[in-house]
Chain A
């Protein structure tokens, strides 16, 4: 059977559309011109220096980091509880409860942020980094639950019983057996939640009050054409960080599966 060449062209065009803009980021980040246009001028690292000197950018970056780390830690802790409960215990209404936990994954963020904004204002909570963290925990938790459930599921129940049988308490069994075996899942969950939170825009924009985070700041900079090359430099750095984090996350996820002898299903990379 001959393959249809138009399908191949479609696939290539699709990939180009997906990734070409990302390739443009480093291209213009090192381009010696304030105008974003071909042909490229000379090579420069000025934009990175300009970006580095920007105080507001630094504050936005620090805010984003605080939010992303907090959101990753909280959603992973919540994810551990939910994943453990969903894989080990039976309780009434389990499918419904798990469904509700996973729902924010598919819910438009606009709705989540609007609803949160209305509630927070109504009960008089001032908008701050904390409120952004709340919103981000909400959207990161489903991802944490999904990753951790697969980690907990690949754990043979007999392992727990064996440890218990050999004289350990439920608490020490969790520490000595379960935790080390799901650790790759935990690391993977932390990294992915961190990444999701870091580049989230809508919730950060709605719930941030007068605090600026990276994504909102970058969007703001596009109003000033002169600032765009510096944003490109920042974007280049963010792309690199994202690739590194996702690679580490995937590495730990796969190692976790290999360790417990399970089959590789799904995954991000």
Chain B
């Protein structure tokens, strides 16, 4: 996952986009490395698709610059850019066969007919559609259409492949299967992939790096693990996975870290990289993921620290159980997720429980 040595493939320099009065992109600055699987993640209307379309050349930008491979794209129209796109609707040409769809971009290619046919066959084999060439495109299933769209875009060997919510129209099973296939495909071809998605799980699974966007701005740009473990704002923390929050207070700040008193947890020392900026008007809080807390069974002892609480709700998921636990001294119940282990019963509502936790797993927003 180390991408630092790789050259820049795409660079956004203070990109702004207005639709009339609406400020859709508000100063985007980011670089995407060559060969990277990069995701733009955010809720609908956050500008992620608009940003993707500025790379493809389907949207003009109001100010700033988009560079692909160190070249400014201002005056380069979409049909001359070294990018290809997989559309959300797949945009398979319904009046053409699978073969004609995949070979569409080769129309202006000077190669011979036979060479082009070979390239089409190779592209179809790459996406697992060998032998489907003669089929009518409109008779394909959703998953097959998506493969055709992928083959059609990759056959031109673009520098960047743009994917606009490519999996959102598929049902869960096929979607998960396609996620894995896309990752493998990306490693195989080594092309820079830029994916737009609103599905945080999909982004975490597939990406080398993720830009989380809200309201036309990038809120955080990091690798999946950093985003999950060290979200830089409560908004990002809430968008990616679940996070519990408890009111906290800063007691003192020193070179070694800061002293914090959190409701229910008491005093602790946090290192400076655990402390993020909070939002104005909201008091300081500490946050933690549901799986960083553990309910201790009779003989177990905490490796770090331990507090008492009462189980208020139990949600059984088969492999997991979610417990809503009210710690002593807190005002609201917190969610704790536990992996179910054979031979260990699921606890009942009302049970008094010992909860193990560790200051290292916390983040603080102040």
A, B: real partners: yes
Residues of A within 8 A of B (CB): 156, 158-159, 161-169, 177, 180-181, 259-261
Query: What A residues does B108 contact at CB under 8 A?
Result: 167
A166 CA to B89 CA, complexed, in Å: 16
Beta-carbon contact of B94 and A158 below 8 Å:
no
Beta-carbon contact of A161 and B91 below 8 Å:
yes
Beta-carbon contact of A165 and B85 below 8 Å:
yes
Interface residues on B, range: 20 to 34
Number of inter-chain CB pairs below 8 Å: 58
Partner of B85, one of A156, A161, A167, A260: A161
Beta-carbon contact of A261 and B94 below 8 Å:
yes
A152 to chain B, nearest CB (A): 15
Partner of B56, one of A165, A169, A177: A165
Query: What B residues does A161 contact at CB under 8 A?
Result: 56, 58, 78, 85, 87, 91
Question: CB within 8 Å of A: which of B89-107?
Answer: 89-91, 93-95, 104-105, 107
Which residue on B lies nearest to A156, using beta carbons?
A: B89
* B30, CB-defined interface residue at 8 Å: no
Query: What B residues does A260 contact at CB under 8 A?
Result: 94
Beta-carbon contact of B84 and A166 below 8 Å:
yes
Given contacts A165-B85, A167-B79, 19 further A-B contacts (CB under 8 A): A156-B89, A156-B91, A158-B90, A158-B91, A159-B91, A161-B78, A161-B87, A161-B91, A162-B87, A164-B78, A165-B78, A166-B152, A166-B153, A166-B156, A167-B105, A167-B107, A168-B79, A180-B95, A181-B94
Query: What B residues does A181 contact at CB under 8 A?
Result: 94-95
Which residue on A lies nearest to B77, using beta carbons?
A: A164
* B63, CB-defined interface residue at 8 Å: no
Known contacts A158-B88, A259-B138, A261-B138; decide if A165 and B79 are in contact (CB<8 Å). yes
Which residue on A lies nearest to B83, using beta carbons?
A: A165
A167 CA to B56 CA, complexed, in Å: 12
Beta-carbon contact of B104 and A163 below 8 Å:
yes
A204 CA to B156 CA, complexed, in Å: 57
Query: What A residues does B88 contact at CB under 8 A?
Result: 158
Which residue on A lies nearest to B58, using beta carbons?
A: A161
Name 20 interchain pairs, CB-CB below 8 A, sorted by A. A158-B91, A161-B56, A161-B87, A162-B91, A163-B104, A165-B58, A165-B79, A165-B84, A166-B105, A166-B153, A166-B156, A167-B79, A167-B108, A168-B107, A181-B94, A181-B95, A259-B94, A259-B95, A260-B94, A261-B138
5 nearest CB pairs, A to B: A158-B91, A166-B105, A162-B91, A158-B87, A180-B95
A157 to chain B, nearest CB (A): 9
Query: What A residues does B85 contact at CB under 8 A?
Result: 161-162, 165
Which residue on A lies nearest to B155, using beta carbons?
A: A166
B181 to chain A, nearest CB (A): 21
A87 CA to B152 CA, complexed, in Å: 27
Which residue on B lies nearest to A173, using beta carbons?
A: B79
A88 to chain B, nearest CB (A): 14
Query: Which of B56, B78, B79 has the most chain A CB atoms inside 10 A of its CB?
Result: B79
A166 CA to B96 CA, complexed, in Å: 15
A162 CA to B92 CA, complexed, in Å: 8
A159 to chain B, nearest CB (A): 5
